[in-house]
Amino acid sequence: MPYYVRLMHWGDIAQVTEIDREAFLGLMPSPNYRNELKNRMAHYVVVCDDARLAEPSTIVIAPDKGISGLLYRVKHMFERDKEVPASTEYIVGFAGFWNVVDEAHLISIAVREEYHRRGIGELLLISIIDLAIELDVRLVSLEVRASNITALSLYRKFGFIQVGLRGGYYTDNNEDAALMTLENVNSELVRSSFEELKKSHSGKMSRQKLKLARSGRRRGA
């Protein structure tokens, strides 16, 4: 498979923020992913392109606003996250949720525009559900634009059902959001169906890799 999934770490912050801004431009300010990685309720995964590397750089995380120079230096003695080498892996998408009591609420799922229609959004959703199962949650919930037929179809495919509507949820155009949930995540029925969908998606991604490899051959090779 040309793509692989792993947990998000400090070195991913710059790329994840870049993807967030591209995907959610005009909706709201990007989350502070430094705070998200410190939040015990938050869980994030990223998808990387195995055949591509990111530009090498360094993330320098500035001191919190309002902290005096002396206090910042004291804090810095006990914190090692002020300067973090950026990941050289090329991140093409990410997703995250908050685990509150027995519910995993999807905060965001986004894929670089140039990587749309390659099954990466579905791979992210699979990874989120996998992680939710591992954390023994009861249900997964999310909001999605009421007009986003493609996303609605994907969520329904994985067993999500619409349980409500949030009026004017999206600030860019005042569009409604469909509230959807996947309940009884750890039940035998849901897990069995989920495993079949995982196998099907894995097969599609493998066929895609073969197709990409063939298309990359030179004539006469």
pLDDT tens sequence across 87-143? 999 999 999 999 999 999 999 999 999 999 999 999 999 999 999 999 999 999 999
Q: How does the average pLDDT of the chain come out, rounded? A: 85
Give the Cα separation of 64 and 125 in Å (integer): 33
**How many whole angstroms separate alpha carbon 74 and alpha carbon 29?**
30
pTM: 0.82
Q: How many residues does the chain have?
A: 221
Evaluate whether residue 220 is within a structural domain.
no
Please check whether residue 221 lies inside any domain of the structure. no
Is 79 contained in some domain? yes
pLDDT tens digits for range 15-70: 999 999 999 886 677 789 999 999 999 999 999 999 999 987 765 554 454 545 55
63 within domain boundaries: yes
For residue 164, pLDDT beyond 70: yes
pLDDT tens digits along 2-26:
899 999 999 999 999 999 999 988 6
Report how many domains make up the chain. Answer: 1
Residue 144 lies in a domain: yes
- The dihedral built from the CA positions of residue 57, 40, 48 and 180, taken in this order, carries a sign that is negative
The answer to the question of residue 101 being in a domain is yes
Amino acid at 102: D
CATH number, position 44: 3.40.630.30
Tell me: pLDDT of 72 over 70. Answer: no
Sheet order of strands, 42-53 included: 3-7, 42-53, 89-100, 103-111, 139-145, 175-183, 161-170
What pLDDT, in 10s, does the model give residues 170-188?
988 899 999 999 999 999 9
Which structural domain, as residue segments, surrounds residue 125? 3-215
The residues carrying an active-site annotation are 143, 155
